[in-house]
Homo-oligomer: A and B are copies of this chain.
Amino acid sequence: MKTLSIKDIAVKAGVSITTVSFIINGKAKEKSISEAVIKKVEKIIKESGYKPNQIARSLRTGNSNIIGLIIEDISNSFFSRIARLIEDKAYKKGYKIIYSSTENNVEKAKELINMFKSRKVDGYIISPTKGIEEDIQVLLSDNKPVILFDRNLSDIDTHYVGADHFKASYQSIESFIKNGKGKIALVTTDIDVEQIIERFEGYKKALIDHDIPYNDELVLKIHFNQDEAETIEQMKSLFSSKDIDAVLFATNYLAISGLKALKQLNKKIGDELSVIAYDDHEVFELHTPSISAVQQPLEEIAETVIQLILNQLSSKNKLENQKVIIPAKLIER
């Protein structure tokens, strides 16, 4: 069965395709099409199951009602949950989302931007990697709305939504100190992105503000793409050789590896060693004992992102850029 085109509908209804097009696009009143014609055409459309070809429409109008979402890795639960929330919210406003993962790979990120561009998506929601600043700049000078989230690119003048990583990290360390801890380690990654750096800065500042000298040896930077087995070994050597009484993990997957390391060392979490994980995960609540975690406000982040992009999309003129920083919450367990 060949798919129907607007022409088929026009022929069946005995009107021009112009008339059909006006009716489909809700411009019937505005163009003063008679009530009778509207009724007739709508009936035919419904009966035949005709759906306008979106490709043709996009080619003609230059937009698509699609928002491109570019994230680091869809299999990471932080991103998949954000993606799901964004998808739901956009859907309610008549926008579809298409998403794809960069795997923290600059080349792939650039390709994705190009793919989305050639698919004429109306706007972009991106958790960026370093190295794609230029490509984003091109989108902006093309007048496409771009919302960054999770991580900011300070060189890029556009909207950004993210959690207050510095503060959350600072507060985590303060909570350790309040509980009498003083030998506080940080396990983080070596990715050079703003939100990771801020967690590190928050750690450092909190120590200094409480007169605890910063000690390089208590900070373990795990190489980004490395094997989990190796990561666990490195953590084991940190945890067993150094005299530490608390540790903040800067990402949830590091925390999970850390828990495995501690399990292997048979080191009990609790009075002896306090643990906070950055980014909550189901594992932490269920773990015995439960693990405290910094919870990013997913719902609020998703809501703000969608709000910003819809505002942009519906206004002809460029809105003033906003950098929205949302507090994260330390869940003490």
Residues of A within 8 A of B (CB): 1, 3, 51-56, 58-59, 64, 73-75, 77, 80-81, 83-84, 87, 91, 96-101, 108, 114-115, 117-120, 141-142, 256, 259-260, 263, 281-283, 285-288
> Would A142 and B1 count as touching, CB distance under 8 A?
yes
How many copies make up the complex?
2
Q: Do residues B77 and A84 form an inter-chain contact, with CB atoms below 8 A? A: no
Q: Is the beta-carbon distance between B118 and A51 smaller than 8 angstroms?
A: yes
The 10 closest A-B CB pairs, nearest first, are: A75-B84, A54-B118, A98-B98, A80-B80, A288-B288, A75-B81, A55-B59, A75-B80, A55-B58, A283-B283
Chain B neighbourhood of A91, CB < 8 A: 108
Contact B118 A55 (CB under 8 A): yes
Q: Which residues of B contact A54 (CB under 8 A)?
A: 115, 118-119
Taking A73-B84, A256-B282 as known contacts, 13 extra A-B pairs with beta carbons closer than 8 A to each other, sorted by chain A number, are: A51-B117, A51-B118, A53-B120, A75-B81, A75-B84, A77-B77, A80-B80, A84-B101, A97-B100, A256-B286, A282-B282, A283-B283, A288-B288
What are some 25 contacts across the A-B interface (CB < 8 A)?
A3-B142, A51-B117, A52-B118, A54-B115, A54-B118, A55-B55, A55-B58, A55-B59, A55-B118, A55-B120, A73-B84, A74-B80, A74-B87, A75-B81, A75-B84, A96-B115, A98-B98, A98-B100, A99-B99, A259-B286, A260-B285, A260-B286, A263-B286, A287-B287, A288-B288
